């Protein structure tokens, strides 16, 4: 029997509505939601004035284990996640070795069961020679199949047209695609190198990893999916031009869906001057107009879900010149507060944010009994206070020890995070002994 937790007087945000009430957690699940619950619990939280959301389900993280644990590991990065209100994550395959078969997935699940603070699932990767393993994969044991149709950290590029045709025709479950056209990028970078040598400015990143490169690759992925009837999820859209390839509306029933990431919604190309390599990521953060279009697409449902693409690299690695500095930002700990800034600015309403960060992800991946504040569902919760909070006020839990949000203030802070019914994060402290559970998929 797990301890009972009673959260009183919260402003509950769920399925398009905001109501005030109490929520009782028992045996890991949401036992009751009511205007007032008259019962005893082992722990009570007075949540008057605070927002209670279903925890964020992050469909794209790079937690670096196995093989790259000097950057992060499942324990360290999931700690950062729960500190930021993320209760479940889906980890990418570009570890060392890469996750290319079900044995590698099983090994990661084993690691996570022993060390993850949040609920977990893993994507299976694609290489040019593992298509048989992909076709045989059990869709209930993986979150999805990830293909890098653009090169990024980890050398997992798959751009052979024959391999892509076979993959789109035979993948047994959701196919997630990183779309950037590598030849376009290589040619752009060669031109910048010709002019600037090793001193390419980081502000050139969105011109090298250009909007054109994104559009070409995303167009190809959508075309392949249409021809083969593939269930395709395009990751981290970063440009206005790609959006026309996707439909607005509810995620349920869509064959082709799209994700936006926190950094593409929050930053724009004017931020390279201050952040330099700390903003270098793939796909690149693009123009202010792109950011406006992405935010609008999130509001209208043309973009179905929001993820982080949390991708830690050390400060020493990031100190390298443009061509050598690795791409990727640590985002999990501050993702929800950063997204809530869009709500404070009136650009997005809170129920829509919850739909993109929790409900929609649960629907898109068919996650069993998570992603909503519903009686009987697992208690995955984020309790959020409004106020004025300096990013520096809390320690950075990601192993890399830095954040692109340094020096900023947020108007929201995650006070408590509940993972499968247990307090994982509370008032600035990581709770010891809280372990996440494997996500289950109804496929
Ligand atoms: O910026 C990125 N970093 N994009 C990716 O696709 C990979 C990621 C990483 O693993 O570092």
The structure tokens listed for 133 are: 């393993």
For residue 152 and ligand 1, the question of a CB distance below 6 A is answered with yes
Percent of the chain with pLDDT over 90: 98
For residue 14 and ligand 1, the question of a CB distance below 6 A is answered with no
pTM over 0.95: yes
The structure tokens listed for 192 are: 């910048």
- Residue 86 makes CB contacts below 8 A (sequence gap 6+) with 55, 56, 57, 58, 118, 308, 332, 335, 336, 417
For residue 282, the domain's CATH number is 3.20.20.140
For residue 95 and ligand 1, the question of a CB distance below 6 A is answered with no
Average pLDDT value for residue range 124-135:
97
Of 22, 37, 26, 24, the closest CA to residue 3 belongs to 26
Q: How confident is the model at residue 260 (pLDDT cuts 50, 70, 90)?
A: very high
The ligand 1 atom nearest the CA atom of 280: 1
Average pLDDT value for residue range 349-355:
98
Asked whether residue 166 is assigned to any structural domain, the reply reads yes
Are the C-beta atoms of 410 and 341 separated by less than 8 Å? yes
Within 10 angstroms of residue 422's Cβ, the number of other Cβ atoms is: 19
For residue 308 and ligand 1, the question of a CB distance below 6 A is answered with no
Are the C-beta atoms of 305 and 257 separated by less than 8 Å? yes
Host domain of residue 86 = 56-365
For residue 281 and ligand 1, the question of a CB distance below 6 A is answered with yes
For residue 184 and ligand 1, the question of a CB distance below 6 A is answered with no
> What separation in Å is there between the alpha carbon of 94 and the centre of ligand 1?
9
Asked whether residue 422 is assigned to any structural domain, the reply reads no
67-90 b/e with 16+ CB inside 10 Å = b?
Answer: ebbebbbbbbbbbbbbbbbbbbbb
> What separation in Å is there between the alpha carbon of 282 and the centre of ligand 1?
6
Cα→Cα distances 176→74, 90, 167, 193, 440, Å: 21, 12, 12, 32, 18
The ligand 1 atom nearest the CA atom of 313: 11
Q: Which of 58, 91, 269, 309 is catalytic?
A: 309
> What separation in Å is there between the alpha carbon of 15 and the centre of ligand 1?
32
Q: How confident is the model at residue 1 (pLDDT cuts 50, 70, 90)?
A: low
Asked whether residue 100 is assigned to any structural domain, the reply reads yes
For residue 398 and ligand 1, the question of a CB distance below 6 A is answered with no
pLDDT in the model for residue 152: 85
H helical segments located in 229-359: 262-266, 272-275, 288-300, 315-318, 335-344, 350-354
For residue 400 and ligand 1, the question of a CB distance below 6 A is answered with no
Please give the Cα distance from 316 to 295 (Å, whole number): 33
pLDDT in the model for residue 275: 98
- Bridge partners of 307, per DSSP, are 261
pLDDT in the model for residue 151: 85
Please give the Cα distance from 237 to 242 (Å, whole number): 7
pLDDT in the model for residue 154: 84
Number of residues assigned to the chain = 443
The structure tokens listed for 146 are: 């990830």
Of 286, 335, 279, 333, the closest CA to residue 307 belongs to 335
Determine the number of helices (DSSP H) and then strands (DSSP E) in the chain: 14, 18
290 burial class (0-12, 13-18, 19+ CB within 10 angstroms)?
buried
> What separation in Å is there between the alpha carbon of 68 and the centre of ligand 1?
13
Tens digits of per-residue pLDDT, 270-311?
999 999 999 999 999 999 999 999 999 999 999 999 999 999
For the chain, how many structural domains are there in total? 1
Are the C-beta atoms of 111 and 65 separated by less than 8 Å? yes
Asked whether residue 26 is assigned to any structural domain, the reply reads no
312 burial class (0-12, 13-18, 19+ CB within 10 angstroms)?
buried
- H or E element at residue 256: strand 256-261
Of 336, 316, 317, 337, the closest CA to residue 326 belongs to 317
Asked whether residue 409 is assigned to any structural domain, the reply reads no
Please count the CA atoms within 13 angstroms of the CA of 182 that sit on its side-chain side.
12
The ligand 1 atom nearest the CA atom of 150: 6
Asked whether residue 23 is assigned to any structural domain, the reply reads no
309 is catalytic: yes
Average pLDDT value for residue range 360-382:
98
Q: How confident is the model at residue 180 (pLDDT cuts 50, 70, 90)?
A: very high
Asked whether residue 385 is assigned to any structural domain, the reply reads no
Q: Which of 327, 331, 404 to mutate to test the pocket of ligand 1 (most atoms within 8 A of CB)?
A: 327
Asked whether residue 428 is assigned to any structural domain, the reply reads no
Tens digits of per-residue pLDDT, 142-171?
999 999 998 888 889 999 999 999 999 999
Sign for the CA dihedral angle at 107, 111, 113, 116 comes to negative
pLDDT in the model for residue 155: 83
């Amino acid at each position: 029997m797990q301890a009972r937790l009673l959260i009183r007087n919260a402003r509950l945000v769920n399925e398009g509505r905001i109501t005030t009430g109490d929520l009782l957690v028992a045996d890991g699940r949401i036992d009751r939601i009511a205007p007032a619950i008259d019962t005893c619990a082992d722990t009570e939280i007075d949540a008057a004035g605070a927002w209670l959301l279903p925890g964020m389900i992050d469909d794209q993280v790079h937690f670096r284990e196995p093989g790259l644990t000097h950057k992060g590991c499942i324990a360290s990065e999931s700690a950062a996640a729960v500190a930021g209100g993320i209760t479940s994550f889906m980890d990418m395959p570009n570890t060392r070795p890469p996750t290319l078969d079900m044995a590698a997935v099983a090994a990661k699940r084993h690691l996570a069961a022993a060390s993850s603070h949040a609920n977990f699932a893993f994507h299976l990767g694609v290489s040019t020679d593992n298509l048989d393993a992909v076709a045989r994969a059990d869709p209930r044991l993986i979150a999805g199949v990830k293909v890098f149709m653009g090169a990024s950290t980890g050398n997992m590029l798959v751009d052979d047209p024959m391999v892509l045709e076979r993959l789109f025709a035979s993948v047994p479950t959701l196919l997630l695609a990183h779309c950037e056209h590598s030849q376009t990028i290589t040619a752009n970078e060669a031109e910048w190198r010709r002019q600037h040598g090793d001193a390419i400015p980081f502000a050139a990143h969105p011109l090298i990893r250009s909007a054109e490169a994104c559009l070409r690759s995303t167009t190809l992925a959508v075309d392949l999916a249409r021809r083969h009837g593939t269930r395709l999820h395009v990751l981290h859209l970063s440009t206005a031009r790609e959006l026309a390839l996707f439909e607005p509306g509810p995620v349920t029933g869509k064959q082709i869906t799209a994700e936006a990431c926190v950094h593409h919604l929050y930053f724009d190309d004017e931020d390279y001057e201050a952040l330099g390599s700390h903003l270098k990521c793939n796909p690149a953060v693009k123009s202010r107009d792109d950011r406006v279009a992405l935010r609008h697409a999130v509001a209208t449902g043309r973009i179905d879900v929001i993820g982080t693409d949390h991708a830690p690299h050390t400060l020493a690695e990031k100190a390298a010149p443009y061509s050598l500095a690795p791409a990727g930002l640590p985002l999990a700990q501050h993702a929800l507060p950063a997204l809530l800034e869009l709500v404070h600015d009136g650009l997005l309403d809170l129920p829509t944010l919850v739909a993109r960060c929790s409900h929609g992800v649960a629907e898109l991946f068919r996650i069993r009994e998570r992603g909503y504040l519903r009686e009987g569902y697992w208690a995955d919760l984020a309790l959020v206070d409004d106020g004025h909070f300096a990013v520096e006020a809390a320690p950075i839990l990601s192993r890399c020890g830095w954040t692109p949000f340094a020096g900023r203030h947020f108007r929201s802070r995650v006070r408590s995070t509940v993972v499968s019914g247990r307090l994982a994060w509370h008032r600035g402290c990581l709770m010891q002994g809280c372990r996440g559970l494997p996500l289950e998929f109804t496929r």
